[in-house]
Amino acid sequence: MKKFILIVLVSLIGISVQAQEKKSKNKKVEFKVAGNCEMCEKRIEKAAFSVKGVKSADWHADHGDIHLIIDETKCSKEDVAKAIAAAGHDTEFVKAIDAVYEKLHGCCLYERME
């Protein structure tokens, strides 16, 4: 009988731990994205919205960060960072390819970290 109770308790603990690992459908995320101007803002936000699962994207030039609401069952912040980098903007997770960065408009050529 003691073994049975112990097995039941261990099973319940395992189930509760699994339940805590569920991914959120409305997770707030923010990270750094390099850019300068309103053209950058439009490009960055458009790239973020191109990722399935992004519900909200708002880039702030004054702070250099993007605030997102994402569905974690469909995407991750790294997925969004890759899309933004593909548009020519460095993020704290992914650096844009030099060739793409160099094609940005003159006012959008932000100072890159080496």
The total number of structural domains in the chain stands at: 1
Domain containing 51 equals 23-108
Domain contains 9: no
Please state whether the predicted TM-score (pTM) of the whole model is above 0.75.
yes
Give the model's pLDDT for residue 4: 64
Helix (H, G, I), strand (E, B) or coil at 21: coil
Task: Give the whole-angstrom CA distance, residue 45 versus residue 80.
Answer: 10
Buried b (16+ CB within 10 A) or exposed e, 14-40: eeeeeeeeeeeeebebebebbbbeeeb
* Per-residue model confidence (pLDDT) at position 23: 77
Mean pLDDT by 10 residues, the chain (114 residues): 68 62 84 96 98 97 96 96 97 96 95 82
Residue 17 lies in a domain: no
Q: Name the 3-class secondary structure at 13.
A: helix
